[in-house]
């Protein structure tokens, strides 16, 4: 039987594994709805812990801490995918509490080979890829896939880390060195027209909703801008929604599945997935009738999902450590006062680490998107590298 987890005066608690910004924004939504929040995170006073009622400081796979989190929570979820899935499997099987997403979303998405293989098995396109766990396999893959290609660590990579572009034979020695130290996948380089993402959310009752398609721009492998509505044809838009719905249903997952895709002509190729709210979905807070965080909470609590709609066209600018001073200076100017600023409460503004975002919205829908673009261009005019 599907559980329905409602907020209560006695304190219904949502437990979150991971204390980063995604947990923080999830916790803010949960609190607004009247839930209490518990968090498991090794470091003290994390972005999520600042919002939580209960803070447990331990490694994500510390069994005693996981049991404690499950015991104090009415429902538990996770906010990032690099949690050892075997530990989650064990505590779920031991019935210490309620974690409706289970370990499978982690198992699939924390390994690029499993992730891409599952996309192909479900009938979707990806860049050509190959397991290159030894020299013979790498050399064979470089014949099949050829240059240019991208070597990526199978696990643990994020924001462009753990990736090497292979342009020609000259890059082979470095590639051979990399595969000696880490398990890798080789991917063909996709000359994409655009990058988009779609977030699908599936509740414990099996209801599925997909968010409007986001259009993404990366800089140095890190998400820089996300815009809605995406500038793509109606046919591609429908295809992207259908793909996301079909994928989450075929995988039989509960919770959020964010799918990053390359647009190549009228084709969509899946690049990456995440079993959690996603950086490209942050603008849903200010631009949609429901945020990805509220929808996620609804999904794990067995509540009805909301049909997501764009209320205002928007552009989100990601803020890395080096962007904070500039942004705070600009934000004091009347022209940018309507930028919705979100800072994550990180203890340091570290270069190239995500510490916040700012979302600019047009007034109403369809809104004046040319004016919105002018504001964003103006804001970005002297944006630090």
Binding site for ligand AMP (CB under 6 A): 127, 150, 157, 160, 187, 189-190, 195, 218, 221, 260, 271-272
Give min distance, CB of 273 to ligand AMP, in A. 10
Residue 160 DSSP code = T
The residue (of 102 and 160) whose beta carbon lies closer to ligand AMP is 160
Cα–Cα distance, 99 to 73 (Å, whole number): 10
Give min distance, CB of 373 to ligand AMP, in A. 21
61: closest CA among 23, 17, 20?
Answer: 17
319: closest CA among 336, 296, 297?
Answer: 336
Residue 310 DSSP code = B
Cα–Cα distance, 278 to 199 (Å, whole number): 8
The residue (of 79 and 272) whose beta carbon lies closer to ligand AMP is 272
β-pairing, 129-131 with 184-188? antiparallel
Give min distance, CB of 187 to ligand AMP, in A. 4
Please provide the DSSP assignment of 249-275 as one string. HHHT--EEEEEEEEEETTEEEEEEEES
Using CB atoms, what's the residue nearest to ligand AMP? 190
Query: Does an H or E element contain 178, and which?
Result: helix 172-181
Give min distance, CB of 331 to ligand AMP, in A. 27
Give min distance, CB of 185 to ligand AMP, in A. 10
The residue (of 13 and 149) whose beta carbon lies closer to ligand AMP is 149
Give min distance, CB of 110 to ligand AMP, in A. 13
The residue (of 84 and 128) whose beta carbon lies closer to ligand AMP is 128
Give min distance, CB of 276 to ligand AMP, in A. 14
Cα–Cα distance, 179 to 34 (Å, whole number): 49
Cα–Cα distance, 259 to 274 (Å, whole number): 7
The residue (of 61 and 193) whose beta carbon lies closer to ligand AMP is 193
Give min distance, CB of 148 to ligand AMP, in A. 8
Asked if 364 and 338 touch (Cβ cutoff 8 Å), the reply is: no
106 by Cβ neighbours in 10 Å (0-12 / 13-18 / 19+) ranks as: buried
The residue (of 68 and 187) whose beta carbon lies closer to ligand AMP is 187
The residue (of 49 and 150) whose beta carbon lies closer to ligand AMP is 150
The residue (of 157 and 277) whose beta carbon lies closer to ligand AMP is 157
Cα–Cα distance, 365 to 227 (Å, whole number): 14
Cα–Cα distance, 302 to 205 (Å, whole number): 6
Give min distance, CB of 215 to ligand AMP, in A. 12
- 115: its two tokens: 């992730």
Cα–Cα distance, 132 to 109 (Å, whole number): 18
Asked if 77 and 296 touch (Cβ cutoff 8 Å), the reply is: yes
The residue (of 56 and 223) whose beta carbon lies closer to ligand AMP is 223
């Amino acid at each position: 039987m599907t559980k329905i987890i409602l907020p209560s005066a006695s304190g219904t608690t949502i437990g979150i594994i991971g204390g980063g910004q995604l947990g923080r924004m999830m916790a803010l939504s949960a609190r607004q709805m009247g839930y209490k929040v518990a968090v498991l995170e090794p470091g003290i006073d994390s972005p999520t812990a600042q919002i939580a009622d209960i803070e447990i400081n331990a490694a994500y796979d510390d069994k005693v801490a996981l049991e404690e989190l499950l015991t104090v929570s009415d429902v538990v979820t996770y906010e990032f995918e690099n949690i050892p899935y075997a530990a989650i499997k064990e505590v779920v099987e031991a019935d210490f509490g309620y974690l409706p997403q289970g370990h499978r979303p982690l198992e699939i998405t924390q390994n690029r080979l499993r992730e891409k293989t599952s996309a192909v098995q479900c009938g979707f396109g990806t860049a050509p890829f190959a397991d290159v766990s030894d020299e013979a396999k790498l050399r064979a893959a470089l014949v099949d896939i050829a240059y240019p290609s991208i070597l990526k660590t199978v696990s643990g990579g994020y924001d462009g880390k753990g990736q090497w572009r292979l342009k020609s034979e000259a890059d082979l020695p470095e590639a051979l060195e990399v595969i000696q130290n880490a398990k890798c996948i080789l991917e063909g380089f996709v000359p994409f027209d655009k990058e988009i993402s779609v977030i699908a959310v599936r509740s414990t009752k099996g209801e599925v909703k997909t968010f409007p398609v986001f259009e993404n721009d990366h800089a140095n492998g890190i998400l820089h801008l996300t815009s809605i509505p995406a500038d793509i044809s109606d046919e591609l838009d429908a295809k992207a929604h259908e793909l996301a719905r079909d994928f989450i249903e075929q995988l039989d997952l509960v919770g959020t599945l964010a799918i990053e895709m390359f647009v190549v002509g009228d084709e969509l190729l899946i690049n990456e997935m995440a079993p959690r709210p996603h950086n490209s979905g942050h603008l849903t807070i200010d631009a949609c009738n429901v945020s990805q965080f509220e929808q996620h909470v609804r999904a794990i609590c067995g509540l009805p999902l909301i049909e997501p709609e764009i209320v205002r066209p928007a552009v989100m600018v990601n803020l890395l450590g080096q962007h904070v001073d500039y942004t705070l200076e600009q934000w004091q100017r009347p022209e940018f006062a309507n930028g919705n600023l979100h800072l994550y409460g990180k203890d340091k503004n570290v270069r190239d680490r995500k510490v916040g975002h700012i979302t600019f919205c047009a007034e109403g829908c369809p809104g004046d998107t040319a004016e919105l673009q002018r504001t964003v261009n103006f804001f970005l005019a002297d944006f630090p590298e």
